[in-house]
């Protein structure tokens, strides 16, 4: 099945009171396209006006995900989210950590744009240094995507993994095969969580399955 195009929906149709009703409805409809248990940590409604959400549905590369990026978030809301995420997370990683188990780490913007398959380094995929780590996304959709680390996020992001399991529970919906970009233990699975950059006031909610 041909992969659906990347959906990027910026919410710039705003009123002086916040996000428009149309923006709220579009966000809820987009989120409803994913399993409820996969996206239940996302906000029920949008409260940050400078917001972008997008989704990947690419069966060819085991790349299924929904993201919500909030910019210029109030610092008090950031602190509240950080406290809650610390309490609920199973692990916290830094975006510039030396070892991270990144889902679809070999996918690049250039190859996506040219509809080219990723070049997979099997030695890196099966590196024993990733044993015991939880998967985190390849954040290609971030508007300031970096090239200096595997997550594509700039430094100073903290990644709060709320849940991650090696299972076909969600990926079976898309009839995905084993992901060649992942270690044997994680050929299929899902990960959900929140990435926070307190310095920039940026929050990214993620939900991915492969």
Mean pLDDT over residues 120-135, rounded?
A: 90
- Which pair of tokens denotes residue 46? 């949008």
Mean pLDDT lowest for which of 26-35, 144-153, 182-191? 144-153
H runs (alpha helix) in the chain: 21-31, 75-88, 109-113, 122-125
Q: What is the pLDDT of residue 2?
A: 37
DSSP state of 198: T
pTM of the prediction?
0.88
Residues near 106 by beta carbon (within 8 Å), at least 6 away in sequence? 118, 119, 120, 121, 181
* Model confidence pLDDT, tens digit, residues 55-112: 988 898 898 999 999 999 999 999 999 999 999 999 999 998 989 999 999 988 777 7
Q: What is the pLDDT of residue 80?
A: 97
Cα distances from 112 to residues 32, 95, 140, 147, in angstroms, run: 25, 22, 10, 15
Is pLDDT above 50 for 7?
Answer: no
Phi and psi at residue 204, to the nearest 5°: -130, 115
Mean pLDDT over residues 176-200, rounded?
A: 95
Q: What is the pLDDT of residue 142?
A: 77
* Model confidence pLDDT, tens digit, residues 36-59: 999 999 999 999 989 999 998 889
**DSSP strand E in 22-157: where?**
51-58, 63-70, 91-94, 101-102, 135-136
């Amino acid at each position: 099945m041909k992969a659906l195009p990347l959906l990027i929906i910026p919410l710039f149709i705003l009123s002086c009171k916040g996000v428009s009703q149309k923006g709220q409805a579009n966000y809820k409809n987009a989120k409803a396209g994913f399993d409820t248990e996969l996206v239940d940590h996302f906000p029920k409604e949008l409260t940050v006006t400078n917001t972008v959400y997008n989704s990947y549905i690419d069966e060819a590369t085991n790349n299924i995900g929904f993201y919500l990026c909030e910019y210029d978030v109030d610092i008090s809301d950031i602190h509240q989210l950080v406290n809650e995420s610390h309490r609920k997370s199973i692990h916290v990683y830094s975006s510039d950590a030396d070892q991270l188990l990144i889902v679809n780490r070999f996918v690049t913007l250039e190859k996506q744009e040219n509809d080219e398959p990723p070049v997979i380094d099997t030695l890196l995929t099966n590196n024993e240094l990733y044993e015991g780590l939880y998967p985190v996304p390849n954040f290609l959709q971030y508007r300031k995507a970096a090239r200096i680390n595997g997550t594509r996020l700039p430094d100073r992001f903290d990644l709060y993994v709320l849940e991650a399991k090696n299972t076909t529970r969600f990926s079976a919906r898309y009839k995905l095969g084993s992901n060649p970009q992942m270690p044997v233990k994680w050929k299929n699975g899902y990960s959900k969580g929140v990435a926070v950059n307190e310095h920039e006031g940026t929050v990214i909610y993620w939900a991915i399955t492969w």
